[in-house]
Chains A and B, each alone.
Chain A
């Protein structure tokens, strides 16, 4: 609370500056074949109630049996968040009524979660680095899905999601702006995807956020917070925070006070709305689930999982900077997805790291984004891109021709070196040929020659002309040298 207030995060109200305080609860669906306590499939989609066992539908007498892989996934995630992993944790019942919760309670973890305190390091686009505290991670069941628009007077319930394992990851109220909140979720998603413990697919609802927002005058204690439920895209998280902070500031500046309540974000209108009708249900009467013994494992089990973890984004970034001399920015871009980082490393192997990064980030990503491709579906393979970079390095082709070659490989495929041979794309380094081209241009443009002597910047025009007559294949450095000599420019 006594941390200095960072002024760049303050927002202006009518009566002065305000600080936003944000904490988040992220619900991340555990990547597993079957559900947390039953053998039904977790596959997305499926016909209504097809991925449902008698356990998920809470038939009388059915008992939950925990999925060992879901436990391992939660432990891996805890390790990835540099968090305390608890060797003993307890499942509790969280009681409430809703049609898509057939048990009448959600099996969750309340007092004794599987994972305790940890942290996430977040690098912001303006170069600042923040450390976001993790309060806990616990395992719980997802609910089913209610569909309200199939009939005017009824809701339709599909329990396919019912019982799927979720990790609820609770952050401390360490975030101070919508930018920080978005960067935190992005980073957390990256870590989960690296670990393989959640696919992070927000479109499918596999990662969603409850966002707690409050505002205060700089230096004051925490204000009353509102919780915005179930925001399902990173952009919406930003919009919901901006709207909610403005709403709260408006109320306080008008002399009102904030009611602690649950709100939902309306993506169409871009606003948050009260969900007051559900408020009274918030008496969950948690108690230990008598159907489940405490979950226990030993440190050797945790160590075994730790030893098998992949290199995580923070470590990979540091390594990329050290090993390939990349900028922090380029390293960030490359490590954001594991696929991308792997692709880059394949391109960079045995080559200049910076050149590889430039080509992957500037040429390849630009093109992939434009065409709606990902690295996995890239028409240009890492080997092909590496081949192009080799040809530049060997001065077989110029940088400009390399871009043309990239286009050819993108649309037609093929081996870059063979393509260069076939299509006569080789760079002309033969000084005789370049001199001939230069002589022709000089002879044809005596007026420009005169001007160039007074105004050396005209050299660029000559370079352009020579490149044009040589089809871009002349070595630009050689052209420059020859031109300077012939025109007498230093």
Chain B
């Protein structure tokens, strides 16, 4: 499995990372190096083996249905570049 220049641009766009044309070939070879490295795992036959989701035999922790959090809108928006009346204010997102 290898990625080409267009795939690199597409991944960058989906992740909202700006990538210049000059950077693309370098990123492509880095990504392909990573993919080649991981591809070594393909040598192991894992058919019939359940994917491991945790190194410890644990169950998903659950919590009771109680309101225990919230009520601090000022803290929620404290780091926002722009806010008003405790709303986040962002550039207009509809055309």
Contacts and interface: CB of A to CB of B under 8 A. Distances in A.
Contact of B61 (A65, A153, A285): A65
Contact of A99 (B10, B66, B88): B88
Tell me the interface secondary structure of chain A in the complex: loop
Contact of B94 (A33, A48, A50, A148): A148
B93 interface: yes
Contacts of B66: 33-34, 39
Nearest to A65: B63
B89 interface: yes
Interface in B67-95: 67-71, 73, 76-77, 82, 84-95
Interface stretch (B18-26, B27-35, B36-44, B51-59): B51-59
Contact of A41 (B16, B67, B90): B67
B65 interface: yes
A157 B88 contact: yes
Nearest to B13: A280
A155 B76 contact: no
B69 A151 contact: no
A81 B85 CA distance: 43
Nearest to A285: B14
B91 A153 contact: yes
Contacts of B45: none
B53 A293 contact: yes
A182 to B, nearest CB: 29
Contact of B88 (A51, A156, A288, A296): A156
A66 B84 CA distance: 31
A99 B93 contact: yes
B70 A41 contact: yes
Interface residues of B, number: 35
A49 B69 contact: no
Given A39-B63, A293-B53, A293-B59, A155 B90 contact: yes
Contact of B63 (A68, A90, A97): A68
A152 B87 CA distance: 15
A47 interface: yes
A66 B86 contact: no
A219 interface: no
Given A49-B86, A293-B60, A32 B65 contact: yes
B87 A65 contact: no
Nearest to B60: A293
A154 B82 CA distance: 10
A117 B36 CA distance: 39
A97 B88 contact: no
Given A39-B69, A156-B87, A67 B63 contact: yes
A193 B63 CA distance: 24
A157 B73 contact: no
A124 interface: no
B51 to A, nearest CB: 8
B6 interface: no
B62 interface: yes
A51 B70 contact: yes
A251 interface: no
A49 B87 CA distance: 7
A48 B85 contact: yes
Contact of B70 (A50, A156, A285, A296): A50
Nearest 6 interchain pairs by C-beta: A39-B68, A69-B65, A40-B70, A39-B69, A53-B69, A49-B73
Given A39-B66, A66-B61, A156-B90, 4 more contacts: A49-B88, A65-B61, A148-B93, A155-B90
28 contacts: A34-B67, A38-B69, A39-B63, A39-B66, A39-B67, A39-B70, A48-B85, A48-B86, A49-B86, A51-B70, A54-B69, A57-B76, A65-B62, A66-B60, A68-B63, A68-B65, A69-B65, A70-B65, A98-B93, A99-B93, A146-B93, A154-B82, A154-B90, A157-B87, A158-B88, A159-B76, A293-B54, A294-B60
Interface of A: 32-34, 38-41, 47-57, 65-71, 90, 95, 97-99, 146-148, 150-159, 277, 283, 285, 288, 292-296
